[in-house]
Chains A and B, each alone.
Chain A
Amino acid sequence: MPKKIVLPIGPQHPALKEPASFDVTLQGEKVENILVKLGYNHRGIEKACETKSYLHDLYLLERVCGICSHSHSTCFLQAVEEIAGLDVPMRAKYIRSIIGEMERIHSHLLWLGVAAHEIGFDTLLMYSWRDREVIMDLLALLTGNRVNYAVNVLGGVRKDISEEEKGQILKAMDILEERTKYYIQICQEEITLIKRLSKVGYLSPEDAVRMGAVGPTGRASKITRDARAEDPYAAYGEVDFKVVSDDHCDVYGRALVRVGELMEAYSIIRQLLAKLPSTPLKVNAPRLIPAGEAISRYEAPRGEDVHYVKSNGTDKPERVKLRAPTLANVQAVSTMLEKGYLADVTIVIAAIDPCFSCTDRMVLALNDGKSKAGSELTWKQLRQQSIEWYKKNRGVDFTKVKLDIK
């Protein structure tokens, strides 16, 4: 019997670009159990929301996560709009859904690349990330930004989609659909990929419900839950789409669900564009939101995002609470990895498409008494330090680069 060892993975590690710590207890190369430690990205956003106005909170919450920024801002606004009794115009709802689906496309393509990288299939990473640029450019064209689109305002959206832009979106959808068909073919026929992902990170439907798995993670375990279908928000009540699910219950199933959802996203965007209603873009929203409470659900790319907002009649909320999909999914990781192999740990973690920024929501940059006094730096000092570092370590002189820093 090999000796048991505990292998600490993280908080900084090669599996993910975000900090999270996993203490893996190993018996030989088999995983006995796994202890997850999160919180490295805790930024105090919920507390900060209570001290800022609804308008400020909108932009703050958009920065909960870089990938699903639109999800968080829409989810928050839906709750506030419900409390305030605002009737958001249909065109705004359509645009919110269109941007939401584009976000799903960019997130799933990103995931496909990351997952491919974790199993050493870097060609697929290069392909899917190259194609992802199509949608990133499109988002930049429509909103002015590749991430944090800031397309939402209280009571509607700030930016319309013109006829010309419509044409560009449709063209991009055709390109991406063609590429996605190829990825589906790879997922169905590429034998190394199928063998590497099958029976890895098994999560039974019962465990998926018990551990609260949501989104593609849950849907790959036969749980056909999708907030877009069961509780339609924005314009999802107006379109036909299939809730993609799978019965493999493993990482392979999670990959199939995500590529399947890409195809659905193209179809949803086409349907929405075809019948984009001509209404105003927004209604005027009051500065003071009447007292009340509401809960809002949003199917983010990674799963269901839930926001609770309580208002007290002022221009600042009394409480904002959010639950990002990763918080729901990360608890299922230990179940998935039980009796699995150490070599599968990275791909199983990556397969829930984790986002710890969303999950944690704060890190306090406070002087905790242990750090050196006066360790705060101004931008100027920081720049000076980096110039010196590059000069010493890399032999590059950046002093001639002029930057206007106040």
Chain B
Amino acid sequence: MLYERKGIQMENKHPVVEKIISAYPAYAESIKVQRPNRIWLKVPYGEFRKFLDFAASDLKTDIFCMLTGLDDKENYSFIYHMADLNGLVLNIETSIPKSDDAHIATITDAYPAADLQEREIYDLLGIKIDGLPDGKRYPLPDNWPDGEYPLRKDWTPERLDKKADGAQKEESNA
């Protein structure tokens, strides 16, 4: 367990951390308490949903704040920022290996508020979300070319310019 931030006297026993460790001792290493109401931890994707439900019922962090998608070097990572009513933000990070068929399951069955942000993950990072209800895409325009995921680290706007140039040439040839 890592206690960070200079000058702040951290309580060695954070009640939330204790609860997590007693239920999931394997996660103790990855827990980071940045300050009393900012807790970060990493959870393997296979156990993520079980942990999310545990956090909602036992830790009372059942308010969905934000979903961040990250393009790490080997993985796609997702941080689910969950809050409780007393100012605690529990940041649950989980990763899946990069592949063309990368996909994760939706959490909109329990948190309908996550809908737009999961659509954003698909549009910007190209990770399919299983079980997401039908709806309009967000946030890219309808005529955005397939297979272009702008938040991936290897993506640059020039790729689109090239595509547009190609399309123009085809048009003038025709």
Interface residues of A (CB under 8 A from B): 35-40, 42, 44, 46-47, 82, 85, 87, 209-212, 225, 227, 230-231, 293-295, 297, 304, 306, 308, 310, 319, 321, 323, 327-328, 330-331, 360-362, 364, 366-370, 373
Contact = CB atoms under 8 A, between A and B. Distances in A.
A212, A227, A370, most chain B CB atoms within 10 A = A212
Interface residues of B, number: 48
Given A47-B150, A308-B66, A366-B157, 16 more contacts: A46-B124, A85-B5, A211-B112, A212-B64, A212-B113, A230-B85, A231-B89, A306-B81, A323-B65, A323-B66, A323-B117, A331-B115, A360-B139, A362-B139, A369-B166, A369-B167
A295 B83 CA distance: 12
A351 to B, nearest CB: 18
Interface string B85-111: 111010100000000000000000001
B46 to A, nearest CB: 23
Nearest to B151: A47
A366 B163 CA distance: 11
A44 B148 CA distance: 14
B87 A368 contact: no
B116 A35 contact: no
Interface of B: 5-7, 34, 37-38, 40, 63-66, 68-70, 79, 81, 85-87, 89, 91, 111-117, 124, 135-141, 143, 150-151, 157, 160-161, 163-164, 166-168, 171
5 contacts: A295-B81, A321-B66, A323-B117, A364-B160, A369-B167
Nearest to B134: A35
A69 B166 CA distance: 39
A46 B151 contact: yes
A307 B48 CA distance: 23
A308 B81 contact: yes
A327 B91 contact: no
Contact of B136 (A37, A323, A367): A37
Contacts, number: 108
A24 to B, nearest CB: 14
Contact of B164 (A209, A297, A366): A366
Contact of B139 (A39, A231, A294, A331): A39
B150 A44 contact: yes
A295, A304, A370, most chain B CB atoms within 10 A = A295
Contacts of B91: 295
Contact of B66 (A225, A306, A362, A369): A306
A388 to B, nearest CB: 28
A39 B124 CA distance: 12
A182 B165 CA distance: 60
A327 B117 contact: yes
B65 A306 contact: yes
Given A297-B89, A306-B66, A373 B116 contact: no
B87 A39 contact: no
A320 B151 CA distance: 11
Contacts of A362: 139
